[in-house]
Amino acid sequence: MGFGPGRSQSFFLVLAAARSEKLGGRGSHVQIGYEWQMCFFVCLLISCWFLGERNNLETGRKRIPSCSSSSKAVLGEGTMTYFPEEVVEHIFSFLPAQRDRNTVSLVCKVWYEIERLSRRSVFVGNCYAVRAERVALRFPNVRALTVKGKPHFADFNLVPPDWGGYAGPWIEAAARGCVGLEELRMKRMVVSDESLELLSRSFPRFRALVLISCEGFSTDGLAAIASHCKLLSELDLQENEVEDRGPRWLSCFPDSCTSLVSLNFACIKGEVNAGLNLSYAPTLDASDLTKMISRCVKLQRLWVLDCISDKGLQVVASSCKDLQELRVFPSDFYVAGYSAVTEEGLVAISLGCPKLNSLLYFCHQMTNAALITVAKNCPNFTRFRLCILEPGKPDVMTNQPLDEGFGAIVRECKGLRRLSISGLLTDKVFMYIGKYAKQLEMLSIAFAGDSDKGMMHVMNGCKNLRKLEIRDSPFGDAALLGNVAKYETMRSLWMSSCNVTLKGCQVLASKMPMLNIEVINEWDGCNEMEENHGELPKVEKLYVYRTTAGARDDAPNFVKIL
Amino acid sequence: MSVETERSSTASSAASGLDFEDTALTLRLPGSSSSSSDTDRKRASTTDPDRRAPATESPPSPKARVVGWPPVREFRKNALAAAAASSKAKFVKVAVDGAPYLRKVDLEAYPGYDQLLAALQDKFFSHFTIRKLRNEEMKLVDAVSGTEYVPTYEDKDGDWMLVGDVPWKMFVETCQRLRLMKSSEAVNLAPRAAR
């Protein structure tokens, strides 16, 4: 009795359901569903075994019916016709996670078809990883689409303008193939007014638009959205570069518009109880600030400027016991010396806020001792981003690199998914990261490391790494080419001002045809040659990503795709 | 920002006392030479697309001028600069020797000494020229009467200082009031410290 597709189908169903129970697990809805699923699985298993036996008896030998052939015969014989498609689709509806849905799609063609036609939400982490038309064709009934464009370092002006990330092709493809679209979320993309106009006219049930760190549009585009999206309930614009052509667009919402529930185009967002964003308020008096915060005992998320000072953070630590996310931004970028927050504030927070799991902390100084203490106090970090403003600055007490401090973080925080490191760091910190940060998905490196070994530790050790972004670090071709298969498991790699040469990139391109190797040079190659006096020219900026779409056709002339 | 110091000072010491070319000059202030900020820029990437630094007098340290560092979104930097600029105002009284009325100016409204003096010129006098002398002092000269005025200010300690001695931001913080003092009286002020 073979382990045919019938068996594998039920196996996957059980697996997927178990996973979704672990992931979902909230509310009675899933509980009921889980019990329901168990009944199906029992029936499924029995019928699998039965039909498997029957097949063997008929032919007298092991026959594994091929489910991959799309002939009608398969549909007639396969176990899944025991259940109508609607039932299978209903079972799939308990698998909201995209990863699980991708998995069930792989089992057989029937499941692929059922899954794709019932997929409601699609997330595209890199707009150049797949063609927009292909997504629209595969998922015609999608209701919520999320697309991300430029790499993260574009936030800090490291990606030249006109690099790409155009929303147009996505909106056009959706307009052609996915008219039921209700929600669109875009991050770091270039969106034109024409695209917004098309969006506003193409989807009769459209209700939610979220644009984060996008550019290329004006308030005219917003006017189109306001005018034509009759069911709009959410318009969320965060940190976009919008050309302001006046407030007229606000009056474009029709008088009869009763649907708008959430409108956010200011910097402040979130309720006071759940979250407080004071990171755009530099003139708030420090004592007023701390008085206010000391009353926010239910605060879960706090964004502030560093003028809150260590004292202020101590108040936060003693008042906000539910705090989960803290971001402390620098208020004066160019003046060193006077440090508003130090390692002491961070230690105080770690002592007082045991639920803290997400941190972004800008400061002028740090010590290993403080980081080790923080790691012990807060082992629940999932996101830990520390930015010491002076690049390469050592432990301010011992003058040592901060390897041990960050080492403690990755060792204690077993669930760490995102990490940004700074200060003086040697290859040792990368050894720790590769050894301990097994759940790490995103790593940001700047001005760190001694040699290729550093990057190699990360590439070889971090099994779940998806995004790696590096700037101004001494990693070269050996590191780039040390584990080429790894890039297929990652979304992207960014390297700027490192020691990678064009030759190294070419070798990578030849070994890995499923990657796009983008070499971004903003000035002529000949300038590079002169400066290097015959040495191999170093690549200024490198962006590597896996893709099924091949080289993109909208690249500007300063981007070379190998 | 070039300053033709030598010619203008020679001309001004001549009997006529007027040199209309001076109105075309802009002032360069101690500690804020544009050449030093040029070298800073060279250390950064030549493709530095980021915005011009706020017009502070203290040249930022080279490390701070690295492109894309610190990793803060441009949006946030701009918003902070805008928030800081628009919300604070510092009005100080301006007295001019011999004038019957006091005026007030908002120091936060100006990015530097040039702009402040230009504004003073506008507010008080119709025929002022701003002149920069060899020893880098600033003077306003009433074109009609030929009287020279030296801009001075009272600082937090109550001392009267010559305007232009300290970096702009520091000046804004410490200045309590302004006085355009006649040159003849200004000799009592301490000479500018050598830098």
**Which residue of chain B comes nearest to A445, CA vs CA?**
B71
Whether residue B168 is predicted with pLDDT greater than 70 in this model: the reply is: yes
SS (H, E, C) A348-388: HHHHHCCCCCEEEEEECCCCHHHHHHHHHHCCCCCEEEEEE
A157/B58 CB distance under 8 A:
no
Distance CA B77, CA B50 (A): 11
Give the model's pLDDT for residue A245.
Answer: 81
**Residue in B60, B63, B67 closest to A158 by CB:** B67
B47/A522 CB distance under 8 A:
yes
For A78-116, letters b (16+ CB in 10 Å) and e give bbbebbeeeebebbbebbeeeebbebbbebbebbbebbb
A331/B79 CB distance under 8 A:
no
Residues in CB range of B182: below 8 A, 6 or more apart: B97, B98, B147, B148, B149, B150
Q: Which two tokens stand for residue A248?
A: 């007229």
Does the model's pTM come out above 0.80? no
Give the model's pLDDT for residue A443.
Answer: 98
Comparing A107-116, A280-289, B41-50, B134-143, the range with the smallest average pLDDT is B41-50
Asked if the C-beta of A339 comes within 8 angstroms of chain B's C-beta atoms, the answer is no
* Cis geometry, peptide bond prior to residue A161 (ω within 30 degrees of 0): no
SS3 A299: coil
Give the model's pLDDT for residue B90.
Answer: 82
Contacts of the segment A241-248: beta carbons below 8 A, 24+ positions apart: A241/A214, A241/A215, A241/A216, A241/B75, A242/A215, A242/A217, A242/A218, A243/A217, A243/A218, A243/A219, A244/A218, A244/A219, A245/A218, A245/A219, A245/A220, A246/A219, A247/A219, A248/A219, A248/A223
Round the average pLDDT of chain B to a whole number and report it. Answer: 66
Give the model's pLDDT for residue A444.
Answer: 98
Most confident of A129-138, B85-94, B186-195: A129-138
Q: What is the ipTM of this complex?
A: 0.75
Distance CA B184, CA B176 (A): 23
**Comparing C-alpha atoms, which of A521, A517, A515, A491 is closest to residue A506?**
A517
Whether residue B165 is predicted with pLDDT greater than 80 in this model: the reply is: yes
**Residue in A280, A336, A420 closest to B61 by CB:** A336
**Residue in B56, B75, B88 closest to A283 by CB:** B88
Asked if the C-beta of B69 comes within 8 angstroms of chain A's C-beta atoms, the answer is yes
Q: Which residues of B, range 79-108, sit inside 8 Å of A by Cβ?
A: 79-80, 83-84, 87-88
B80/A331 CB distance under 8 A:
yes
Helix axes A109-118, A98-105, angle to 10 degrees: 150
Give the model's pLDDT for residue B104.
Answer: 81
pLDDT < 70 positions in chain A: 1-82, 255-274, 282-286, 332-339, 522-535
Distance CA A109, CA A66 (A): 10
B49/A391 CB distance under 8 A:
no
**Comparing C-alpha atoms, which of A345, A270, A274 is closest to residue A306?**
A345
